[in-house]
Amino acid sequence: MRRSIACLLLFTLVLPGLEAAQPVRARKAMVVSRESNATDAGVAVLKAGGNAIDAAAAVGFALAVTHPSAGNLGGGGFMLVRFADGRTTFIDFRERAPLTATRDMYLDKDGNPTRDSLTGWRASGVPGTARGLEYAQRKYGKAKWADVVAPSVKLAREGFTVTYGLANGLKGAKNMAQFPESKRIFQKNGAFHNAGDKLVQPELAGVLERIQKSGARDFYEGETARIFADQMAKNGGAITAEDLKQYTVSERKTLEGNFRGYKVITAPPPSSGGIGILQMLAVLEKTGYEKAGAGSAQAIHYTAEAMRRYYADRATHLGDPDFWTVPVSKLLSPNYVNKLRASINPDKATNSDDVKAGDLRTMESTETTHYSIVDAEGNCVAVTYTLNGSYGSGVTVPGLGFLLNNEMDDFSVKPGVPNMFGAIGGEANAIAPRKRPLSSMAPTIVLKDGKPFLVVGTPGGTRILTSVMEVIQNVIDFKMNIQDAVNFPRFHHQWRPDKLQMEPTFSPDTVKLLEQRGHKIDIVRNICEIAAIEFQDNGWLAGAADPRVEGKAAGY
């Protein structure tokens, strides 16, 4: 039955004469997030006179309560802002490696990777969310800090209703079951939460109340920091009080490019997402791939080949720009893009063994969450933040109530060996103290005729950038409204492993044609969960939450 409904959705999108799926529309402002309470928190802040940056902080703190698999105080992320006056900025509050981190810290005596980068106290980088949200709000918001944090405090202290999806997610989180505090809070010591139950988190409420009163300083230098560092030391973790005290946010210049006359504003390194979106769109622009139509074998083939080539470059050339010179201009240069495009056979898949990272020496210059916000002034914010894996490392800090990330696995634990997402990294992304691991997060804003047109992003590990790109393609090249663009089935290729991942709602005939071209197909469910906003020509805002999850778009 579920597959039949999904197939009907696909047919509704592609057959002429049938009504398209409709987004949520609003005149002034819009918030789209993964979870309804968080969306409502953002809308409430906007209605009270706050701007999009205030709302972004409110949504971020609320998700730390209501979406424990990815919303977080124990993780980090990126915020992309396009102000109403045309200025842009990128706020990097990605986690950092502890001061005691070493290149080989997750290798056993034989040089093989252990699982310590995935599960347990040693898997975590220094969290950045509290300081990142505060940095953005203090510098660019206009509401009172206490009012921005207040919705999350109430949700944690008084509780919220557990949804069907959250109940199933908590029950299935095996990584939490081995840690007593996580099992107690999130799994009722094995009794589990049911849909309709109320989840109350008093320890987390205490942390949020201290942040509300004293700011992020409490998390990094106050009572929360003291408890955090003590528990790390007791449990063999690497993060110390000095790590917390030294954590800083980086504000960076946005990465920008053009696609068919639209300007694409996106995430710079240490994100690999923004540069990948720009390179892949540039490769596709002159192929004519779009003429065969959305969901066609031809369109998917060309797009997958562009993906394959970028991920080979990603493995070699991308890392934290504070530690590694990332050749951004070379990777996006017209000469190099032309070379990549020319290497695509229009009728046959390239074997990934034959695709290598570009030699640029002679060239010219799983779980994450995303939310998109537009305010009445025209400020646009796209935020993607994460614990890395679902429920992070599985560890909840006793006395504090928040889960820790397992972001250290996003480094190249051993160059050439795949991480939890199957992505291969090299020397550029090797572990070093204070270094930020490479990320795929790609909050993106698209302009049309110099004005905001799309605000879009998603969680999903290495599949983030390909999913964001496909939504942009669906709107610009395939003329879909934003809800149809979000609903449409997605696919993904990342060079290694040499598989074309496709959602099950694609036509079996299309899959067969791709196999005949040499693509190795892997059918997977629910590739990412987009949160997007479109500025329509009639002056309305259109918000699209992804039907793959329990998201919500709301505005006024």
Q: Which residues of 227-255 are buried (b: 16+ CB within 10 A; e: fewer)?
A: bbbebbeeeebbbbbebbeebebbebebb
Q: Which helix (H) or strand (E) holds 500?
A: strand 500-502
Q: Is the dihedral of CA 332, 335, 337, 339 positive or negative?
A: negative
Q: Which helix (H) or strand (E) holds 311?
A: helix 297-317
Three-class SS of residue 28?
Answer: coil
Asked whether 311 and 351 are in contact (CB, 8 A), the reply is: no
CB contact set of 313 (below 8 Å; sequence gap of 6+): 279, 331, 357, 358
The structure tokens listed for 186 are: 């999130």
Name residue, tokens 């409709």: 22
The structure tokens listed for 205 are: 């409420």
Closest by Cα among 44, 36, 30, 46 to 66? 36
d(CA 220, CA 246): 8
Asked whether 127 and 73 are in contact (CB, 8 A), the reply is: yes
Cβ atoms within 10 Å, residue 325: 10
CB contact set of 201 (below 8 Å; sequence gap of 6+): 65, 156, 159, 185, 401
d(CA 26, CA 20): 18
Q: Is the dihedral of CA 207, 213, 219, 221 positive or negative?
A: negative
Q: Is 420 exposed, middle or buried (0-12, 13-18, 19+ CB in 10 A)?
A: middle
Taking each continuous run of H as one helix and of E as one strand, the counts in the chain are 19, 19
Q: Which one from 266, 368, 386, 396 is the annotated catalytic residue?
A: 368
DSSP state of 398: T
Q: Which amino acid appears at position 386 of this protein?
A: T
Backbone angles phi, psi at 381, to 5 degrees: -130, 135
Closest by Cα among 308, 240, 40 to 152? 40
d(CA 428, CA 424): 11
Examine the residue annotation and report whether 369 is marked as an active-site residue of this protein.
no
Positions marked active-site: 368
